[in-house]
Chain A
Amino acid sequence: MSLPASTLIWLFGPPLLLLLITIAWSYRNWDRSP
């Protein structure tokens, strides 16, 4: 069987979102003094 799209979104959506936030933050602050 294959999973319904809504389940897949719940399964993989949150980690992807958290990863995107981290990438965006790291990109903005890369090699910058705090």
Chain B
Amino acid sequence: MILAVFAAYLLTLLLIGVYFSRYNRSIGDFVLGGRRLGPWVAAFSAQASDFSGWLLIGLPAAAYAGGFSMIWACIGCTCGVMFNWLVLARRLRRLSAEYGALTIPDFLEARYADRSRLIRVFSVLIIVVYYVSYIAAQFNAAGHVFATAFSQVSLPWGETIGGVPLSFYHQGMLIGAAIILAYTAAGGFLAVCWTDFVQAILMVGAVIALPVLGIIHLGGLDELWSALAAGALRENMLTMDGGKAGSSFLLGVAMHGLSWSVGYPGQPHIVSRFMAIEDPKKIPKSALIAVVWTLFALYGSLFVGLVAVGVLDPDRLAETADQAMPMLAVTLLPAFFAGLVLSAAVAAMMSTVDSQIIVAVAAVVRDGYEKLLGGRPSDRVAVWLSRAVVVVLGGAGVAAAWGGRSVYGQVLDAWGGLAAGLGPAIVLGCLWERTSRVGVIVGMVTGVAMVQGWSVLLHGLENAFGFGSSLVQDIHAVKLLITVLANFACVVLVSLLFPAKPSDVALEGGGLP
């Protein structure tokens, strides 16, 4: 039954892809849906793209192990979502339509009147390089999420298919990749948004239903607190500081959680959704929907982990807390609903990677081929070219993830590289008129250099002091915050030193109005 529900869910995604294939008549349709998104789809799909498998597997596992101290990450993420929707969305939508921009590099080149093309070159490089490793990391997660989610279900065919040994990790990755590539290549941006819409409903439904049922199962909230206070796993489950004090609390717990927020405006797979909204007047409505969804999703997910402490037998979870959510689903729910909840874990990952693929495809076809190389494909050829690039990028992602090595470090670098490389250019471009072309070019280079510099430095420190040393952990906790803030300061400073000229009137991108 659980597998039948999962199969039905995958089939639904494919049908959505097929349905929207007819709407792709030009590159503007394929990468931005012709600016046709309504407020509900825009809000839900942006948030589903934002939260990956971390929401359904990672956060419950962290809450299962760390208790209330995970609240800081929830607050940090919500602040990031709020900044994007309340501050950035309307300005980005208005300016991108004024410039006819289809992509973030389009927007940046037009906003800074960059005739040298350097901004487009750098932003395309940043997007392609970081998103290829991002997509590989998501496929890696797809395999793990599938294997984890269905670890509680005995799959009838086992880890051998047609005589060929194939682990659940590889099966999950191949199934996930095949479905994602099929509906993304067929339906483009609109298929991505509508599948994300369905996935967002599934995700939030799962993380609301599980804790509610768990609390009923336990007999009430007071019983949940008692179970957490009993300290079956560890102490300090009911404190906000995770039992830490002073600087180790401030750096390791609070700042680490809150610092996620500064990465949000630099992620093209999230902010490009704002450019696709049909009616900018509806953005306040979308913002409210998005923030309410986010709060329910994050706090629901937090409580999934907390409830798991009370409901599940700790001995069975000794090895890995990642099993907390799937095990809770199988324990509490009848097979049909358990199938839905386990599908939600896979949905969380799929809804992120499809949006990342679309952004990377836009950077390759629209920015690279059309704008930088001067290609003039017909609308029909451009759409088919984009479809081919979807498959090539997806295939590269699967190949890179095949070894199964954890790529969590790459995800952090990609998040940081986009946050520092593109964040200041996008945010200041929308908010501060005096931001100059030179400031943004210098900011892109220094942002990426800082992120890679931290990587090298931390690698050295880990070799010298060990990964667990407090110095290494403290640097990990604050590096994103420091990098992004320093890079904002850098762009402002250089913009003041090399101001924009009065002749720098924004360029028209020649895309969609």
Contacts and interface: CB of A to CB of B under 8 A. Distances in A.
Contacts of B299: 15
B85, B281, B284: which has the most chain A beta carbons within 10 Å?
B284
Given A15-B299, A18-B295, A1 B225 contact: yes
Interface in B252-289: 280-285, 287-288
Given A3-B225, A28-B284, A31-B282, 18 more contacts: A1-B226, A7-B239, A7-B240, A10-B68, A10-B240, A15-B74, A15-B78, A15-B295, A22-B291, A25-B284, A26-B284, A26-B285, A26-B288, A30-B284, A31-B284, A32-B281, A33-B280, A33-B281
Interface stretch (B30-38, B89-97, B483-491, B504-512): B89-97
Contacts of B295: 15, 18-19
Contacts of A19: 291-292, 295
B238 A23 contact: no
Nearest to B292: A19
B222 interface: yes
Interface of A: 1-3, 7, 10-11, 14-15, 18-19, 21-23, 25-34
Given A14-B75, A15-B74, A23 B288 contact: yes
Interface in B35-93: 68, 71, 74-75, 78-79, 82, 85-86, 90-91, 93
Contacts of A14: 71, 75
Contacts, number: 72
A15 B152 CA distance: 33
B397 to A, nearest CB: 34
Contact of B94 (A2, A22, A34): A34
Contacts of A18: 75, 78-79, 82, 291, 295
B449 interface: no
A3 B238 contact: yes
Nearest to B86: A25
Instruction: Across the A-B interface, give the 7 residue pairs with the lowest CB-CB distance, nearest first.
Output: A34-B90, A26-B284, A26-B288, A22-B291, A29-B284, A34-B94, A1-B226
A25 B285 CA distance: 10
B86 A22 contact: yes
Nearest to A34: B90
Contacts of B283: 29, 34
Given A2-B225, A30-B285, A34-B283, A11 B71 contact: yes
A27 to B, nearest CB: 8
Contacts of B71: 10-11, 14
Contact of B281 (A3, A23, A31): A31
A18 B295 CA distance: 9
B147 interface: no
A8 to B, nearest CB: 10
A27 B240 CA distance: 32
Interface SS of A by simple majority: helix
Contact of B229 (A1, A10, A30): A1
Interface string B202-226: 0000000000000000000010011
A2 B125 CA distance: 54
Nearest to B92: A34
Contacts of A3: 225, 238
A3 B227 CA distance: 12
Interface SS of B by simple majority: helix
A34 B86 contact: no
A14 to B, nearest CB: 5
A26 B287 CA distance: 7
A28 B288 CA distance: 12
Contacts of A33: 280-281
A23 B287 CA distance: 9
Given A2-B222, A22-B86, A7 B291 contact: no
A19 B290 CA distance: 11
A7 B79 contact: no
A3 B288 CA distance: 30
Nearest to A6: B240
A29 to B, nearest CB: 4
Contacts of B94: 34
Given A1-B229, A31-B284, A7 B222 contact: no
Contacts of B239: 7
B285 A34 contact: no
Contacts of B91: 34
Nearest to B295: A15
Nearest to B90: A34
A10 B299 CA distance: 13
A16 to B, nearest CB: 9
A22, A26, A30, A34: which has the most chain B beta carbons within 10 Å?
A22
Contacts of A34: 90-91, 93-94, 280-281, 283
A22 B68 contact: no
